[in-house]
Structure 1
């Protein structure tokens, strides 16, 4: 992605759409003080430049049966990095994963129904990687944009 200077209007658009991606063009235009066609054009340019990658719903995981989450640090055994990465990518309960520096190679976030299910998920990795698991008690800061 090329470097792109964000002016105050672009920052406002990103902030409002991050808070509520379902805002109508009319409402968003009113909030930022532009016409609907001008707002639509700015959104189109943000999308074309890859700054806006998509739109989605935030789902309450406990409301759909995933009452538990864990952060798992994963350190593949020698020669197993790519295999472990593919295993993590194929794990539907892995809702987020980062490849990191340091002693571990991956930090993943798992959503699951029970400790038994967590054991099953981690048992699948045990022959290929070491893991260290922390159960999430709460999330005082949800994913958000940094200052723009």
Structure 2
């Protein structure tokens, strides 16, 4: 679908990533379309799987999960079954994100915990699967922001 995204689609994506609860009338005003045309475009982006959902951004510290870490996991060699690790990742709510990667580390996980002891418990559960390296997050210099308009696409006026 990437090839069929025009500047208006990218403008819609930018707005809904900024505020997933934006009313269609306001979104339409911002992207210079009618409300019905905007609604149709959003529905088309949802149907095509470009927009995969809408989520609330939660302040981890205010919910008691003040320790944020990135854990890199070096999984044992070829032929290793990954299902047990995938089950653990699904079962542990502290694991916010898990990415399978290339290079020395097979997985990179974003983990939020209530304390250092809690983090140690999560890391120990991951260490059953291989060697881990844990980095504490001091601050979010650039929070996740989603894709932006490619340089080749000119946004609408």
Asked if 1:68 corresponds to 2:67, the answer is yes
- Corresponding residue of 2:116: 115
Aligned to 2:131, what secondary structure does the other structure show?
Answer: strand
Please provide the CA RMSD for this pair: 1.4
Give CA deviations for 1:10-34 in whole Å, capped at 9, x if unaligned.
Answer: 1110000000011111111111111
Counterpart-to-counterpart distance in 2, 1:94 and 1:74: 13
Counterpart-to-counterpart distance in 2, 1:4 and 1:54: 21
- Corresponding residue of 2:155: none
**Structure 1 gaps, min length 5:** none
Matches within 5 A, 1:50-129: 50-78=49-77, 79=80, 81-129=82-130
Shift of 1:86: 2.5
Counterpart-to-counterpart distance in 2, 1:30 and 1:141: 28
Q: How many residues align?
A: 147
Alignment check: 8 A CA contact 1:70 1:110 kept: yes
Alignment check: 8 A CA contact 1:84 1:129 kept: no
Asked if 1:22 corresponds to 2:21, the answer is yes
Runs of 4+ in 1 over 6 A off after TM superposition: none
Alignment check: 8 A CA contact 1:76 1:84 kept: no
Shift of 1:75: 1.2
> TM-score, length-normalised on structure 1?
0.92
